[in-house]
Structure 1
Amino acid sequence: MSVYTEVGRDELIAFIGEYAVGNLIDYQGISAGIENTNYFVTTDQGEFVLTLFEQHEFAELDYFLEVMTFFFKHGIPSAHPAEDKQGNYLKSLCGRPAALVMRLAGHTVDELATLGQCEAIGDMLAQMHLAGQKFKHRRATQRGADWRESIAETLLPHMSAEQADMLKAELAFQRHYSDLELPWGVTHSDLFRDNALFIDNELQGIIDFYFACDEFLIYDLAVAVNDWCINEQGLIDIERYHRLMNAYLQRRELNEAEQSNWNLVCRAAALRFWLSRLQDQLFPREGEMTQIKNPDAFLKILQQHRHNPLSLNTLQNA
């Protein structure tokens, strides 16, 4: 979440006037995240998040709003898009597709996650994966194996020889990723600490479903592990890992194929975010308020998975 497109007050007043959400009191840009333009919006009837989509066309955005509505209706604490007076979720603002979403209570986890927060995320992610088996809409991932190989070709000339050699070796190791036969379904695929809201250790909601897609369910789990379970050194902390994984496994067990390919999928998840952050660093987009996250954080996690694979043997339901 950043601000690439500036929205004027008069433009916003006209926009929210098409909803039954009251009169505008205040709004402010959100600098966290990196993909879309986001504002906190306060009216005399409530608080909302306004998102202007910088990377997606109108035709593909209905899917994301359907995902959010589906999970909301199935008991997953997720932000629900507001309907305008004609019943539409999606509109246009400043030449961009835009949606107004109910703002949830709580705060993102800006520091290291607590053990209780790791447990809550593991439990909720399993609930999402189970509920999501009933979701009928399909969307292929936009950041899968093909994307990883394609963006690697763009980035390789900008890397040191050592990093380039490692990347080539990693792509070779992951070359059969798309051929794996693993349980799949709708996934969040970006469930980082800045995409969940907490009050202390109590999960209030999951936000930012704009990378949702069909993927292996353990890929979604690996994305969460790679972010929620890190320690002060930026490496996977075993106690946090155990708490998140055990909470997940109490609701959904991993089959043999998932267990056998756990390291490969953890590496694929780390590689995806190393490459996307490196792309953002080398080829930044202009914006009023933008945040470029350090790609080295995921390079470090990828190297940990390469040299010290996370075990499933010590978990309760492995």
Structure 2
Amino acid sequence: MAVFTVVNETDLAQWMRHYDLGEVVDFRGISSGIENSNYFLTTTRGAFVLTIFEKLTAEQLPFYLDLMRHLASHSVPVPDPVPRDDGALFGILHGKPATIVTKLDGKAELAPGPEHCGEVGQMLARLHLAGRDFKSHQPNLRSLAWWKETVPRIVPFVDGAQRELIVGELAHQEAFFESADYAALPGGPCHCDLFRDNVLFAPAAPGTNHQVRLGGFFDFYFAGCDKWLFDVAVTANDWCVDLATGRFDGARLTALLRAYQTVRPFTPEENRHWRDMLRAGAYRFWVSRLYDYYLPRAAAMLQPHDPTHFERILRERVMHADASPLCN
């Protein structure tokens, strides 16, 4: 969500002619993130987000936008793409595909407690089940094939211990992905990037027993069809860890997993390979952060993430069996 492509007032006025969204009240860039150019857009009709896609092509984009529309229609709180005057969900701005989506209520919770994690776990399971009848298919583009392509480009930049870990874990994951148990894992459309800053919480409604209310999930532009357990592992590796050590907080992890299973219980194969998938989730983000750190792109507001965070998490998952396994 960094600003790679700058949009001025003239650009915006021309772009808004294709939408029935009223007059522009406010327009400003969003600095967090590293993939797309994003702007908050407020009009007399409401609050929206304008996204310009820096890597995704016009051929790839319909999967993401159609998935968001599908989930929104199944009562999963996600940004809903706004159709243009010709019915299309995106157009071309500065030679790149771009879209406007509805803005969710709430703000990110960067220091979550068990109740936040429970809300996330339950909604993630609802998202997985809602995607079962989604007709389009696109694989997770940051999975094994991308790791195999990207790791050789990173290896020259890392030291001996890091090189041993990154190459050794790739071999472990290749073997896991080729196993019969992996093939048996259930899957479908996944968010694949459900970090704390991609979820919003709003104040709980008066008179309820809840202290928090989930406002919604956003930033679906790493979504893809994958194993549901991978999505849970990615989420747990962010929401349920101590950021300084990468170790799990037992109360938060238990809350997330139990809430998820109130909607969709885990299979025996998922229980057996929880640790393998936690390693896969950590590996995916260590590799991508190393790539962004050593091979960055220019951006007006780029803030690359620290790759050592997910190196710590991966080493923790490799060295220690999970002390709070999936709940039955």
TM-score bracket for this pair, using the shorter chain length = over 0.9
Contact (CA 8 Å) 1:112, 1:230: kept in 2 or not? Answer: no
Contact (CA 8 Å) 1:145, 1:177: kept in 2 or not? Answer: no
TM-score (norm 2): 0.93
Partner of 2:175: 176
**Cα distance change, pair 37–234 in 1 and its aligned pair in 2 (3 A):** farther
Matched, 1:131 2:130: yes
Alpha-carbon distance in structure 2 between the residues aligned to 1:150 and 1:96: 25
Partner of 1:18: 18
SS, match of residue 78 in structure 1? coil
Alpha-carbon distance in structure 1 between the residues aligned to 2:14 and 2:172: 53
SS, match of residue 197 in structure 1? strand
Alpha-carbon distance in structure 2 between the residues aligned to 1:276 and 1:282: 10
Alpha-carbon distance in structure 1 between the residues aligned to 2:111 and 2:245: 10
Contact (CA 8 Å) 2:202, 2:214: kept in 1 or not? Answer: yes
Residue 101 of structure 2 aligns to which amino acid in structure 1? V
Contact (CA 8 Å) 2:3, 2:300: kept in 1 or not? Answer: yes
In the TM superposition, what whole-angstrom CA distance separates every residue of 1:50-78 from its partner, at most 9, and x where no partner exists? 00000111111011010000000001001
How far 1:231 moved relative to its partner? 2.0
How far 1:121 moved relative to its partner? 0.4
Residue 26 of structure 1 aligns to which amino acid in structure 2? D
How far 1:311 moved relative to its partner? 4.2
How far 1:188 moved relative to its partner? 0.7
Alpha-carbon distance in structure 2 between the residues aligned to 1:78 and 1:213: 15
Runs of 4+ residues deviating >6 angstroms: none
1:1-318 matches, within 5 Å, as 1-109=1-109, 111-179=110-178, 180-181=182-183, 182-200=185-203, 201-235=212-246, 236-311=248-323, 313=325, 317-318=327-328
Contact (CA 8 Å) 2:254, 2:324: kept in 1 or not? Answer: no
In the TM superposition, what whole-angstrom CA distance separates every residue of 1:22-79 from its partner, at most 9, and x where no partner exists? 1112211001111100000111221110000001111110110100000000010011
Alpha-carbon distance in structure 2 between the residues aligned to 1:156 and 1:40: 38
How far 1:309 moved relative to its partner? 2.1
SS, match of residue 80 in structure 1? coil
Contact (CA 8 Å) 1:122, 1:244: kept in 2 or not? Answer: yes
Alpha-carbon distance in structure 2 between the residues aligned to 1:11 and 1:23: 14
CA RMSD of aligned residues (A): 1.3
Residue 241 of structure 2 aligns to which amino acid in structure 1? I
Alpha-carbon distance in structure 1 between the residues aligned to 2:169 and 2:292: 21
SS, match of residue 59 in structure 1? coil
Contact (CA 8 Å) 1:229, 1:241: kept in 2 or not? Answer: yes
Alpha-carbon distance in structure 2 between the residues aligned to 1:198 and 1:293: 23
Larger deviation, residues 193-202 vs 297-306: 193-202
Residue 139 of structure 1 aligns to which amino acid in structure 2? Q
Residue 256 of structure 1 aligns to which amino acid in structure 2? P
Alpha-carbon distance in structure 1 between the residues aligned to 2:243 and 2:148: 31
Partner of 2:208: none
How far 1:149 moved relative to its partner? 2.0
SS, match of residue 92 in structure 1? strand
Larger deviation, residues 54-63 vs 164-173: 164-173
Alpha-carbon distance in structure 1 between the residues aligned to 2:323 and 2:229: 14
TM-score (norm 1): 0.96
How far 1:163 moved relative to its partner? 0.8
SS, match of residue 253 in structure 1? coil
Contact (CA 8 Å) 2:108, 2:197: kept in 1 or not? Answer: yes
Alpha-carbon distance in structure 2 between the residues aligned to 1:86 and 1:100: 14
Partner of 2:209: none
Residue 187 of structure 2 aligns to which amino acid in structure 1? W
Contact (CA 8 Å) 1:112, 1:231: kept in 2 or not? Answer: no
Gaps spanning 5+ residues in structure 2: where? 204-211
How far 1:190 moved relative to its partner? 0.7
Residue 210 of structure 1 aligns to which amino acid in structure 2? Y
How far 1:272 moved relative to its partner? 0.5
Residue 113 of structure 2 aligns to which amino acid in structure 1? T
Residue 244 of structure 1 aligns to which amino acid in structure 2? L
Larger deviation, residues 175-184 vs 112-121: 175-184
Gaps spanning 5+ residues in structure 1: where? none
Residue 253 of structure 2 aligns to which amino acid in structure 1? Y
Contact (CA 8 Å) 1:2, 1:34: kept in 2 or not? Answer: yes
Residue 186 of structure 2 aligns to which amino acid in structure 1? P
